[in-house]
Amino acid sequence: MTRAQDLYDANGERLQKVLAHAGVGSRRACEELITQGRVSVDGVVVCQLGIRVSPDAVIHVDGNRVQLDETKLTLVCYKERGVVSTMSDDQGRPTLADYVADRTERLYHVGRLDADTEGIILLTNDGELAHRLTHPSYEVPKTYIARVEGTVPRGLTKVLEKGITLDDGPVKVDSFVLRELGKKHSIVELTLHSGRNRIVRRIMEEVGFPVIDLVRTQFGNITIGRLKPGQVRQVAGSELGALMSMVKL
């Protein structure tokens, strides 16, 4: 069984300094987190000050991973309609690369949004994080708001939460909320973890309410917040830690 003292690395840095440098809080605040038993190193809760840790230690605060590798970068951008979810396009269409032209890191997009869909999409140079976020086994939820044709009946919620069958297999939503009902159009919110191609559009088409406009407002714990179309911001600190923990990092 690993004990806290077994984590000691004479050549490492003090745990509270590592946490402060990673942006968790001031040195004093990080010391309090440690003494309160809210910090773990390589799966072991550390409550004593003075522990020196290895640069490759896996550290969590309140269960959320602390990213120590300063070379890793994760961004969230608000993809506009008409932009393709690639970093280059041989047809000359606008791409995600246009949003990060000032960045020197080689970034990869996490999943895709079709050209007609707007909303948030993640870019990162952390290959393992990208892989896990898109892998079906981690079931990362995504939330969309759609304007659809027709007046959506309230009973559709139970139908979609129970599940329907598309041409590539069954699918169900985690939640379905009617936001606004009208004679010609309705606005609905769907949360689901399926990453299949154009899945929201295909679901709504199947049940008779084709999508007119579609926006992804949340990916995992990352929300659209105050982002405007075309804007980009960094995902860091506790927000990044929660995202990493969501996929067991």
> Of 62, 69, 114, 116, which is the active-site residue?
114
**What single-letter amino acid sits at 176?**
F
Is 114 a catalytic site residue?
A: yes
Residue 77: count other Cβ atoms within 10 Å of its Cβ. 23
3-state secondary structure the chain: CCCHHHHCCCCCEEHHHHHHHCCCCCHHHHHHHHHCCCEEECCEECCCCCCEECCCCCEEECCEECCCCCCCCEEEEEECCCCECCCCCCCCCCEHHHHHCCCCCCCEEECCCCCCCEEEEEEECCHHHHHHHHCHHHCCCEEEEEEEECCCCCCHHHHHHHCEEECCEEECCCEEEEEEECCCEEEEEEEECCCCCCHHHHHHHHCCCCEEEEEEEEECCEECCCCCCCCEEECCHHHHHHHHHHCCC
Rounded to 5°, angle at Cα 77 from 19 and 201: 125
* Active-site amino acid positions: 114
